[in-house]
A and B are shown apart, each in its own frame.
Chain A
Amino acid sequence: MSSVTQDIISSQVQSLSQAEIEAFLFEEAAMLDEWRLDDWFALFLEGAIYEVPQAGASDEASSSRNLFYISDNYFRLRHRVERLKKPGNHSEWPRSVCSRLIGNVRVLGAEGGNYIAKSKFITHRSKNDITDMFCGHHMYKLKLIDGHIRIAEKRTQIDMNTLRPQGRISIVV
């Protein structure tokens, strides 16, 4: 075992357990399901980014070379959350009903003080008597700050061939 791997494992043992990271990701999903949007935004560190590449894109896709669906810096993410709360956000008003299932949580190590975590998701969004499903995986860079887990980067990879028939990503998947 390399010393780097040793370091990662020992730092995990000392700080965050798999169970703690899982609990964090489950709670994050609950915030979105329950429309606690300000709480959700508060999970993000200043300067954080939130990205959703196109359906089927590789984990390596880059928002400066490839056309994504979402590539938010902290400023635009704040506006995304503000917009979600407005009646003028017609796509989500009246609000859709959503259910987010998170599983297969893996903590893949630490890199420059960040925890790298991946999870699988299935999200159902129901509105206008139609229920659409999104599936894929989330990728996180997390930081432990003053005993709280915070998000430095979140990337949602949609593991579907296209966005047909869903047609839009008007929620935080």
Chain B
Amino acid sequence: MSVAEKARQKSRASPYIVDDRERGLFRVARTTFIDEEILAQERDKIFNRCWLYLGHKSELPNPNDFLTRNVGGKEVIFNRDRKGVFRAFMNTCPHRGAMVERQARGNALAFRCFYHGWAFNNNGNFATRMQAGTYPEDFNSDGCANLRSVPKLAEYAGFYFLNYDAGAVSLDSYLADARSILDLLSQHGPEGVEVIGGEQKYSIRANWKLLMENSYDGYHAVDTHGTYFEYLADAIGGPAEMPTETFVWDLKNGHAAIEGNAPWGRPVAKWIPAWGEQAKTEVEDIKRELVARVGEEQANRIAVLGRNTGIFPNLVLNDIMAVTVRTFYPLSPGNMNISAWALGVTGESEAFRKRRLDNFLEFLGPGGFATPDDVEALESAQRGYAAVDEVAWNDISRGMLKSKFDATDEEQMRCFWREWADRMEDQK
């Protein structure tokens, strides 16, 4: 089959996307960002079927630890039972619905619903004795009074995911090549990585898919974040230019990453003069340990190159001047909640931890020198989509006909949208 024929076969045109492989054109319908009906279908076909990020193992260091969070729009308890086994339950009382745990985190042998007092062991089993005759003899023989476990819970390299579809494929096959990114992250330190104190919870008045696009959009950096690069140039005492050689990884199943060497310092392990001579020795030691443990090539990817990764549908792992884990969920077509964490190397010194957090804050989060401008861009686009009748399509064709993609192309977004359209059009 000729190249042109292959391109023709892979092309598609649907109400949602136009993927014209011959001409090198990719369009996304703006209705996908504003339509209530499309959001209802996304809840059904995407959020109720895909593996969703739940948390990192370091957040529950001890048996009986628990935390509560909203995953895919539903309240969940993520905990470890008395034996230390990781578990996840729907945080709703099987009696009449109240949340059985309302604290953000803690350590508990059991959960007790405050409404009528039903209690549950931290393995989910109903643990209240009722007076004989109150309920039928065989009450709970079907488990109706136990906490409901999430249909599927699985872990890869310390990252826990859940799935609301009991028939879903395994996490390993779902993550496909994105596993290599989780491997890289978990190898940053000899004892792995951990979530650092606190979760940034904020929101953006824009469609959730815009944040996925933005999180690995190498094209916008220079224009949107010019003021950040001006700051960075002063901080590193030299020009702050983005790399000329970059990579784009199609990690399958809608996951993708961009990779390259950037001008900022990296706690693991790329020194910049602003950190001083003492830090230089420390960074060299970290690099040496890394090379010894994972080999030269992998060490170079961890220490020098950074990457922005999107795991379908709503997990972002950006390993840039700091490492952030970010997930988000739509409240409505034009509004999403975001949760973001910082990852650090387990056992790193306090000075290094401070440097890492400083790096995080110079760019990332609601008070950083970059994220607020991304928020403005997304909200501005969302307002623009009200003109959907006049301007119906977004264009993400950039670099589509190239044989090797750059981070400033839009291939990573096309990976996302092909998967999104497959699922929405029941082709998956």
Contact = CB atoms under 8 A, between A and B. Distances in A.
Interface of A: 52, 54-55, 57, 61, 63-71, 75-76, 79-80, 83, 86, 88-92, 128, 130, 162-170
B15 interface: no
Contacts of B372: 90-92, 168-170
A164 B367 contact: no
B366 A71 contact: no
B227 A67 contact: no
Interface string B350-394: 100110011011100111010111011101000100000000000
A164 B329 CA distance: 13
B341 interface: yes
A52, A80, A166, A168: residue with the most chain B Cβ atoms closer than 10 Å: A168
Contact of B200 (A63, A91, A163, A166): A163
A80 B342 CA distance: 22
A65 B353 contact: yes
Contact of A71 (B199, B201, B205, B361): B361
29 contacts: A54-B199, A54-B200, A57-B198, A61-B197, A64-B357, A66-B196, A67-B199, A67-B365, A68-B357, A69-B200, A69-B367, A71-B361, A76-B362, A86-B227, A89-B373, A91-B372, A162-B201, A162-B202, A163-B201, A163-B203, A164-B201, A164-B202, A168-B202, A168-B366, A168-B371, A168-B372, A169-B366, A169-B367, A170-B372
Contacts of A57: 198
A80 B203 CA distance: 22
A163 B372 CA distance: 13
Contact of A88 (B227, B335, B337, B366): B227
Given A67-B342, A68-B357, A128 B383 contact: yes
B298 interface: no
Contacts of B337: 164
Given A69-B200, A79-B231, A64 B354 contact: yes
Given A164-B203, A167-B202, A167-B366, A69 B379 contact: no
A83 B235 CA distance: 14
A160 to B, nearest CB: 10
Contacts of A169: 366-367, 372
Closest 4 CB pairs of A and B: A69-B367, A91-B372, A64-B354, A162-B201
B231 A83 contact: yes
B220 to A, nearest CB: 11
Nearest to A57: B198
SS class of chain A's interface: helix, strand, loop or mixed? loop
B198 to A, nearest CB: 4
B363 to A, nearest CB: 11
Nearest to B383: A128
Given A65-B197, A79-B231, A167-B202, A71 B373 contact: no
A163 B366 contact: yes
B200, B358, B367: residue with the most chain A Cβ atoms closer than 10 Å: B367
A130 B379 CA distance: 11
A69 B365 contact: yes
A166 B202 contact: yes
Interface of B: 196-205, 224, 226-227, 230-231, 234-235, 335, 337, 341-342, 350, 353-354, 357-358, 360-362, 365-367, 369, 371-373, 375-377, 379, 383
B198 A67 contact: yes
Nearest to B341: A67
A54 B231 contact: no
Contacts of A163: 200-203, 366
Contacts of B205: 130, 165, 167
A90 B377 CA distance: 8
Contact of A90 (B234, B360, B376): B376
Contacts of A71: 357-358, 361
A166 B379 CA distance: 12
B320 to A, nearest CB: 15
A89 B225 CA distance: 8
A69 B199 CA distance: 10
A79 B358 CA distance: 14
Contacts of B362: 76
A65 B279 CA distance: 18
Given A63-B357, A89-B227, 20 more contacts: A63-B354, A64-B353, A64-B354, A66-B197, A66-B357, A67-B197, A67-B360, A67-B365, A68-B361, A68-B367, A69-B366, A83-B230, A88-B226, A90-B376, A91-B375, A91-B376, A162-B201, A165-B203, A167-B203, A169-B366
A47 to B, nearest CB: 16
A131 to B, nearest CB: 13
Contacts of A65: 196-197, 350, 353
Nearest to A69: B367
B237 to A, nearest CB: 12
A167 B419 CA distance: 29
B337 to A, nearest CB: 6
Contacts of B199: 54, 67
A37 B342 CA distance: 31
